[in-house]
Amino acid sequence: MVSKEVGLMLYWCEGDKTTKNTWRVAVTTSEPRMLKYFIDWLTKYYNVPKDKVKLRLHLWEGSDEEKAKKYWSEETSIVAFTKTWFKPKGKKQKFPYGICRASINSKDILLKILEEIKSNF
């Protein structure tokens, strides 16, 4: 079951921090259950259609990009990916399917989430 408060805590701890002119609501993690929770939370509490959520992979050189995309799609039910980012040569691979970011672009939702975090915690 998805809880509004747990989602707010998840975003507060793991969500992208805002910078000037960036209105992205995103969580990046190696844990697929956490990403699925975040996506379900956005869908339930902010009426974000799943087809508006985009995934971005962070992989190491030599990783199988198609295999990683298949894995994260199956885990999250999201099929839309932005350009994959490959970590430079020499970095040790720690996760077989890389790290994944789920995001939407919405100033309104971002400001609402930040205000709810402020008022609840």
Q: Residue 29 has which token pair?
A: 């993690």
**Edge-to-edge, what's the strand order for the sheet holding 85-87?**
24-29, 99-105, 54-60, 85-87
Q: Let me know if 47 is exposed, middle or buried by CB neighbors in 10 A (0-12, 13-18, 19+).
A: exposed
- For residue 87, pLDDT over 80 is answered with yes
Determine phi and psi for 48, rounding to 5 degrees: -85, 120
Cβ neighbours, 10 Å, residue 10: 18
Residue type at position 7: G
- pLDDT, mean of residues 14-36: 91
Residue tagged 């789920």 (tokens)? 102
Q: What is the CA radius of gyration of the chain?
A: 15
pLDDT in tens, 44-76: 999 999 999 999 999 998 889 999 999 999 999
User: Which pTM value belongs to this model?
Assistant: 0.92
17: confidence class by pLDDT, cuts 50, 70, 90: confident
CATH of domain 4-120: 3.30.1330
pLDDT at position 91: 66
pLDDT at position 101: 98
Q: Taking the domains of the chain in order of start, what are their residue ranges? A: 4-120
Strands (E), the chain: 24-29, 54-60, 85-87, 99-105
